[in-house]
Amino acid sequence: MSRLRLLSAAALFAVAANASATSFIVTTDAVVNALKATSDATSDVISSSFKDDKIVLAARDDAASFVASEGSIRGVKLESAIDHIHRQAPQLNATDAQLAQAILTI
């Protein structure tokens, strides 16, 4: 009888662990996909609306430094471009990091 209980407990533990892992993976995938969709939308708006904008194009090097340094290096041209983008597209709710990445896609 004790062997049956031990096997039942082991089977129950395996099923519970598998369910937790699957739930974690599904949740992680949903969060990553939502962030990617937001980033893609930001990049699409920036690249289509500002592809010929001299202020934004001049900020590419600063944007690369900003992204590479994870936000530690903020150049004057990038600051100017971010302010310019916020004035031209106030409906765009994007972080500075998202805008810098979008500038790099132009």
Q: What is the pLDDT of residues 22-74, one digit of tens each?
A: 555 555 555 555 555 555 555 555 655 777 889 999 999 999 999 999 999 99
- Mean pLDDT for the chain? 76
- For 3, 16, 19, 90, 96, the CA distances from 67, given in Å and listed in that order, are 58, 40, 37, 22, 10
Mean pLDDT (whole number) for 74-80? 96
Residues 6+ apart with CB under 8 A from 102: 39, 42, 43, 45, 46, 47, 94
Its pTM stands at 0.56
Radius of gyration of the chain from its Cα atoms, rounded to whole angstroms: 23
Q: What are phi and psi of 70, to 5 degrees?
A: 55, 40
Contacts of 50 (CB under 8 A, 6+ apart): 56, 85, 88, 103, 106
- Rounded Cα distance between 53 and 64, Å, is 17
State the total domains in the chain.
1
Range of the domain at 69: 2-104
